[in-house]
Amino acid sequence: MVDSIVRSHEIKPVIAFHEVSKWYGNVIGINKLTLEIGPGICGLLGPNGAGKSTLLQLATGQLRASQGTVMLFGEPAWNNPAINLRIGLCPEQDALYEWMTGREFIITCARLTGYRQSAARNRADELLESVGLTAHKHRVVRGYSKGMRQRTKLAQALVANPEILFLDEPMTGTDPIARRHLLDIILRLADEGKTIVVSSHVLYEVQSLTQNIVLMNRGRLIAQGHIREIRDLMDKHPHRIVLVTPQCRQLASILMTWPHVDGIHLAPDNRSMTVATRQPDAFYAQLPAKVVEHSWQIDEVYSEDDNLDAVFHYLVDR
């Protein structure tokens, strides 16, 4: 249903996968994936083993596609070291050069990018400041917390001031404060005009960054676009609208007579109900008038399907 997606070509994509497949022996990592990503933040979502990391490794030229082409800025990603000056990768794995201090690590990465020693030092200080690690920059990486390591990895990804930033599970294992900090940094980088691809299997992390998502499962592209528009594609699957009301049973008996209501599920505590409808616009248009007409008390109305989690599970489990 949503495998074939018509794409907008208003903005030239900076990342383009065309019919890309990647096999590891007999195991399929990516299966005939065609995908274009333009500027802004793009959330790459999928369960473990969906192929997110493989996709990022293909995009960053670490892996070669078994079939198809992966292009960045119109150039092939594989074996194109010059393009690495325009991209940055924050890898998923936690490994760093453990014996270095945070500052030494960033200086090393900057020098590997081609900076002179003095420029590398300045760049490292600047980046460590921007990710909030200045106070810890002289500590050995081995003693860093998970959040500090993630910020260090993010800083190394930024040494070349890349136009595209690939973040592979950047929030994994971090505490809420570190997550908030990382989110702020990523949003700030997006405001600076960078193209950011964030992969995650934790839905709310991505939801708090962007509404533009790519959903993957078992190496296949399941859906791509704005979450609400993806939801609109699922025309066989009714929208779910939650009404929080003390008059659950009374309202349910009335709403069941509405032609565009497919079903109603009452919460066990009788404080809310979930209405399933294929015509949410009609439902939303009719509801206010009826509320006034019958003096219903409805404390809250929200669409459960705006939640990424619902979309994700529907698409993956269908």
Partner 1 sequence: MRLPTATTSKPADRAAPDKPLFGPVRAAWALYQLALRQHRHGRRWLVMLVLALLPILIAVITHLTETAIPARSLEFNLVFMLIPQGLLPLLALVYASGVIQDEQEDQTITYLLVRPIPKWLIYLMKWAAAVTAAECLAVTSIVLTYATIYGDHHSAVSIHDIIYRCAGTCGVQALAVLAYCGIFGLMGIVTRRVLVVGILYTALFEGLFANIPFNLRIITVIYYARLMLYRLMSFRVNTGYRVHDLAAQAWNFTPSPHHHLTGYPPDWVCAAVLFSLSVILSAVAAFVCNRREFYVKTPSKTD
The footprint of partner 1 on residues 123-152 (CB under 8 A) is none
The residue range among 40-48, 240-248, 250-258, 298-306 that interacts with partner 1, by the rule CB under 8 A, is 40-48
Residue 261 or 315 having the CB closest to partner 1 = 315
Strands 212-217, 195-200: pairing is unpaired
Q: Sign of dihedral through CA atoms 53, 58, 62, 66?
A: positive
| By CB under 8 A, residue 39 contacts partner 1 | yes
Q: Hey, how many other C-beta atoms are within 10 angstroms of the C-beta on 176?
A: 9
Residue 30 or 213 having the CB closest to partner 1 = 213
| By CB under 8 A, residue 97 contacts partner 1 | yes
Residue 196 or 243 having the CB closest to partner 1 = 196
Residue 175 or 299 having the CB closest to partner 1 = 175
| By CB under 8 A, residue 122 contacts partner 1 | no
| By CB under 8 A, residue 305 contacts partner 1 | no
The residue range among 111-119, 241-249, 253-261, 274-282 that interacts with partner 1, by the rule CB under 8 A, is 111-119
The residue range among 3-11, 130-138, 259-267, 286-294 that interacts with partner 1, by the rule CB under 8 A, is 3-11
| Sites for partner 1 among residues 170-209 (CB under 8 A) | 171-173, 190-193, 201-202
Q: Sign of dihedral through CA atoms 227, 233, 234, 235?
A: positive
CB of 19 to partner 1, least distance (A): 17
CB of 275 to partner 1, least distance (A): 23
| By CB under 8 A, residue 256 contacts partner 1 | no
| By CB under 8 A, residue 26 contacts partner 1 | no
Classify burial at 221, counting beta carbons within 10 Å of its beta carbon; exposed 0-12, middle 13-18, buried 19 or more: buried
| By CB under 8 A, residue 213 contacts partner 1 | yes
Please list the helix, strand and coil fractions of the chain in percent, rounded to the nearest 5, in that order.
40, 25, 35
Cβ atoms 316, 47 nearer than 8 A: yes
| Sites for partner 1 among residues 54-83 (CB under 8 A) | 57, 60-64, 79, 81-83
| By CB under 8 A, residue 226 contacts partner 1 | yes
| Sites for partner 1 among residues 151-170 (CB under 8 A) | 156-157, 160-163, 168-169
Q: Sign of dihedral through CA atoms 48, 50, 54, 55?
A: negative
The amino acid present at 237, given as its one-letter code, is H
Rounded to an integer, what distance in angstroms lies between the CA atom of residue 61 and that of residue 76?
8
Distance of CA 34 to the CA centre of its chain: 18
Query: Can you point out the beta strands (E) in the chain?
Result: 15-24, 27-37, 41-45, 67-72, 75-76, 87-90, 164-168, 195-200, 212-217, 220-226, 239-244, 261-266, 272-277, 300-303
